[in-house]
Chain A
């Protein structure tokens, strides 16, 4: 792997930029910046940081960023999306079943459509459907609660864990989890059906016929995100078990190990994350007013569906300020 030519200042800038995005609610920026710098750079003299140390730091930060993204995934403002979407699906199916009844059409097809539709939606992973549908999954619940309760604390723990834990171990468990994750989809699908208003279950053959309709791009995304969620779960479980040694400065051998493992894993997820695929960020909405004064545009938007970074948000009203 190429050693990235990254100066410490640039690195910090990246980190700060990210933290502003993540922590503007939980902490004031300055406070978080300070804590973060202590956490990351406290042990090093800023001026004589070797390339190797920088590289390691960068990898850890990258990993940390991914974990934080996953944390957002659990707790943030698109939590209503699954509920609203489910409501729309039910509404469409209900209204259409009235129509089907009056026309004397086979009702079974609607059940199939509804199940099919939900499954595709879950695969898109635009919001946390799984959490809504698997409330009995205590691990996931506890993790999101922890995150909401004190994000900084947990993150520090995660960070320490990553810095010191035996990566090979984690790697192995991740692989296992990914395999389980692949099976999870069908799990959610079944539960979905039971949740629906119709108790009829689909014939097995129908389930088998349903092929993953997504482009490979989306599938990759899905995989990455699932991986991240499972990583968090694994780490949390490890922490609860007290298996990790929470010391940042462990011996060099482990650091080497960490470097290699982090590097290879990171490469994989990076490929599927950003560089290979330009994500289409789309906002579908209605406008109330669009005005322009010289180069400044102001829009008042209503009833929008926003898709950014593969996740959906909904808004009742949005103000847009653009400079042309």
Chain B
């Protein structure tokens, strides 16, 4: 059964910041902990929200840079494709029983979600 979700669920427009870095990685453990830390500082009145946005923007480019330059590891991923959708240049896959094969470790889980932006950054309008 095909389950392509409507475009309203896509937020690709929000995925690029002004320096054309993806905001995608803010959802990672590293990004979410930064967001939490910033939230605390903002809510306790120690930080200006605009500064926080700047820090997040800096995080976007730092993490992209680190992933591009520091990581050499390869991985393979197999599984049953349960859902897929593609809009605004963002692919989302939901994989049933995926098997991850990393350098020296294999992990199988029940369900995993992949969110992937295009390697080629779209032109800034």
Chain A interface (Cβ < 8 Å from any Cβ of B): 20-21, 24-25, 72, 76-78, 80, 84-85, 87-89, 91-92, 95-96, 99, 105, 109, 112-113, 116-117, 120-121, 124, 126, 209-210, 213, 278-288, 290, 297, 299, 301-309, 312-324
Contacts and interface: CB of A to CB of B under 8 A. Distances in A.
A285 B98 CA distance: 16
Contacts, number: 207
- Secondary structure call for the A interface: mixed
Interface in B41-76: 41, 44, 46-47, 51, 54-55, 58-59, 62-68, 70-76
A282 B44 CA distance: 31
A173 to B, nearest CB: 29
Given A84-B71, A116-B40, A283-B114, A76 B105 contact: yes
B33 A287 contact: no
A74 to B, nearest CB: 12
Contacts of A319: 75-77
A281 B77 CA distance: 13
Contact of B75 (A25, A88, A304): A304
B73 A301 contact: no
Interface residues of B, number: 66
Contacts of A320: 76-78, 93, 114
A309 B115 contact: no
A121 B40 CA distance: 15
Contacts of B93: 297, 299, 320, 322
A313 B105 CA distance: 10
Given A72-B105, A95-B58, A301-B116, A318 B81 contact: no
Please list the 8 inter-chain residue pairs (A to B) with the smallest Cβ-Cβ separation, ordered nearest first: A281-B112, A322-B81, A120-B33, A303-B67, A318-B75, A287-B116, A315-B75, A116-B37
Given A299-B93, A320-B78, 18 more contacts: A21-B108, A95-B62, A99-B54, A116-B41, A281-B113, A282-B27, A282-B113, A283-B112, A284-B115, A286-B116, A290-B86, A304-B67, A306-B100, A315-B74, A316-B71, A316-B72, A322-B80, A323-B80
B63 A88 contact: yes
